[in-house]
Chains A and B, each alone.
Chain A
């Protein structure tokens, strides 16, 4: 049930959302590319929906070629088929499978997470089975072969120095846990792998928030209520900013959000700008109209 529909803008205003969903994946892709595998980064740049591509490879024996525009089209069509046939839980398995595989999760963990997430979404848990989860994981790793390199690189850094320095400048020291026999325990390894993607996504959102706040134009350009910004940030949710602005300031909103999220960041040896999706609507839960 969508409870976000209860969060509404003030009269004469619209609600907006700027979403960096999938942002974590860009960090993972940049790290893999730095270590020699640009596949994930190229797929993301081409706009390919990765879980759908994995599903296509798994179910239809699809062999992606060099033409990424075609891959993108095929993945989109596959997803449409999946949703039309009511197999949303299978799509959840593909999404979670990919997400957890990025951070070294096992097929057992994927299964556990899918059960928890389908329960959280629908109130009824769905069990994908261990076999399917293993196949999703293996298919994912067959395409993105740079992932184990990234895992080993991260584990090496934490084992040798006890710390990780992120692209955002954050230095995280993994204090209480020490590697046994030169090997990191699973929990520390997962936390270490998830650290930088989360740090980067949050950093970009916070930077965008600050840019909107400190932009003088956002306070003076045709402002109706003195002392309040035109583009108002009312919520920060990990990979998303949300807020409101007056309906007649929609073009201004589009321009300011684009500028706020235009933040090149260097991760490893790759400099990229993580794209965002801007949507508006009559409530937080009904933001469906693209900017």
Chain B
């Protein structure tokens, strides 16, 4: 199905934007995103998303949904989102990132820039996991750190935040 022939409802759009910006969707996000299993089924049917293998997210086994190639092209063409690359080796990290995104207002979510987009915008920098502009107009850098990050790596992220962001949200995913 060609991208420009797809007619998505608002909730379907919200779903694939979440996956485009944060890498995946799991059933636990349904209520926060305001989508039902029918919306998920519809996106599966339209070949925008697919089911990944089951994984542990903070000791709970869940099945993540990711963008298909069709889905990736769609979010690039329609919403100018460079899809975030979901990493199965750091499920907790990406889970926290998604939770941060989901706690934002709808307007703030529309201001979200994914890590992949940031890498294109700032090619020689260690960019953050995400960035958005809040309702006050401040640029907020979002970074989720884990115990596997070296001090040097964390410092380079902080230095990016200092140069390009007004404020930051930094969460250590291993603390939860």
Q: Decide whether A and B assemble into one complex.
A: no
Which residues of B are in contact with A by a Cβ distance under 8 Å?
A: none
Which residues of A are in contact with B by a Cβ distance under 8 Å?
A: none
